[in-house]
Amino acid sequence: MRVIWWLLTVIAVSGTGILLSERRALDPVQNTTLRVAAPIEGSLRDIASPVNDVFDGITDRGELVRENQELKERIAELERQIAEQQDAQQRVAELEAALGVKQTRPEDSLLAANVIAEEPSGLKRSIAIDRGLSDGIDEGMVVLSGSGVLVGTISRAYQDFAWIRLITDPESAVNAQINLTAAQPQATTPSAPTPTPAPATTPAPTPSASPLPAATPPANEASAIRGVAAGDLKDGLVLDLLPSDVAIGEGSLVLSSGLGGNYPRGLLIGTVTDLEQRPQSPFTKAKVEPAASLSGLDTVLILISFVPARLSEP
C-alpha cells in the first residue's frame, strides 16, 4: 500500500514538474544547476577528450595513418579549389555590386561558445553550451562548428546557457541541396573544407571576411538537386525527398539551400556516403556523413547576424 501511495505521489509530482517545465517556469532552476555544474563539466570534458584520443590512437592507429594520408591529398585538392573560388567570389561580388543584388549574408557575425555537456540519452542528439539569452542568443539561431560547418540550432535557451539540437537529432530537418556542378565523387572524408579555425572562447566580432566555408551558390537553379537533410537515430543524417531519377555520387557535398528561411544558404552540411534507391518509391534517400564531427565538439559558433524565419515571424 505504501508503495502505491509513493508511486501515485511520484507520478503527480513529476507530472507537475513536466507541465511547469514545458511552460518554462522551471528555467531558472535549470539555469542555476547548469551554472553550478558547468565548471565541473568543463573540467571533466577537458580530461575526457585527451583520454579518448589516447584510446582512439591505440585502437585505430592503422586507420588513422590511412586517413591522414587521404586528408593530406584532400587538403591539397581543397587548397586548389579555394584559390579558384576566391577568384570566383571576387567576380561574383563585383557583379552583385554592379547589378545591385541584395546579398544574403553580407557579413556573418559569430559568437563563440564552449560545449559543456551532451545529452546522454540515446533518444536525442543535443549539446549544452555556456551562452544564453544574456549573450544575445535566441532559440532557433543557427550554430556552426569551429570550422564553419552546420552543427544545429538553439533548441532551448536559458539565461546563461542553452541546448543545441544537432542536425542528427530526429527533430532536425534542414532544406538542403546538392550542386551538380560542384558534385565531385571522391573518397568519403568527413572533414570539412575550412579556411581558418575560429577563435577559442571569446566572442567573435564581426569579421570582414566570413569564416564560413566558401560554398559558392550554383550557377543556375537547375543544376541543384534539392531535398531535406533530416536527423536519424540509426543513420545519423539522411538526405530525403530527392527525385527518384537523381544521379549523384558518393562524396557529393550537401549544402543548406536556404529555402524556408531558417538556415542561410550555402552552409556545408556533409557529404553523401550511400544512395538508397527503391524501384517503387517516388523519392530517393541518401545517407550523409556530417562534415562536422558532432561527438566531442569543444567549441561552436552561433550565427547571430542571421535571423531565422521562425524568429522574425510576428
d(CA 150, CA 143): 6
CB of 159 to another protein, least distance (A): 15
Q: Which residues ranging from 215 to 244 are in contact with another protein (CB under 8 A)?
A: 232-234
CB of 89 to another protein, least distance (A): 38
Spatial neighbors of 27 by CB under 8 A, at least 6 apart, are 158, 159
In the complex with another protein, the residue whose CB is nearer, 170 or 195, is 170
CB of 108 to another protein, least distance (A): 27
CB of 166 to another protein, least distance (A): 11
Decide if residue 44 touches another protein (CB under 8 A).
Answer: yes
d(CA 23, CA 148): 33
Q: Which residues ranging from 55 to 84 are in contact with another protein (CB under 8 A)?
A: 55
In the complex with another protein, the residue whose CB is nearer, 2 or 102, is 2
Cα-based distances in Å from 32 to 36, 41, 77, 155, 222: 6, 14, 48, 18, 51
Decide if residue 1 touches another protein (CB under 8 A).
Answer: no
CB of 308 to another protein, least distance (A): 19
CB of 39 to another protein, least distance (A): 10
Q: Which residues ranging from 11 to 40 are in contact with another protein (CB under 8 A)?
A: 11, 13-18, 20-22, 26, 29-30, 33-34, 37, 40
**Contact between residue 228 and residue 175 where contact means Cβ atoms under 8 Å apart:** yes
| Per-residue binding letters, 171-210, with another protein (x by CB under 8 A) | x---------------------------------------
**Contact between residue 193 and residue 87 where contact means Cβ atoms under 8 Å apart:** no
Q: Which residues ranging from 283 to 312 are in contact with another protein (CB under 8 A)?
A: 295-296
Interface with another protein: number of residues (CB under 8 A): 52
Decide if residue 138 touches another protein (CB under 8 A).
Answer: no
In the complex with another protein, the residue whose CB is nearer, 53 or 77, is 53
Query: For another protein, which residue of 76, 123, 209, 222 counts as binding (CB under 8 A)?
Result: 123
d(CA 190, CA 250): 12
What is the rounded (10 degree) CA torsion for 301, 305, 307, 308?
A: -30
CB of 46 to another protein, least distance (A): 9
Tallying the residues shown for the chain, one arrives at 314
Q: Which residues ranging from 159 to 178 are in contact with another protein (CB under 8 A)?
A: 163, 170-171
CB of 132 to another protein, least distance (A): 14
**Contact between residue 219 and residue 180 where contact means Cβ atoms under 8 Å apart:** no
Give the footprint of another protein on this chain (CB under 8 A). 3, 6-7, 10-11, 13-18, 20-22, 26, 29-30, 33-34, 37, 40-42, 44-45, 47-49, 51-52, 55, 116-124, 126, 128, 155-156, 163, 170-171, 232-234, 295-296
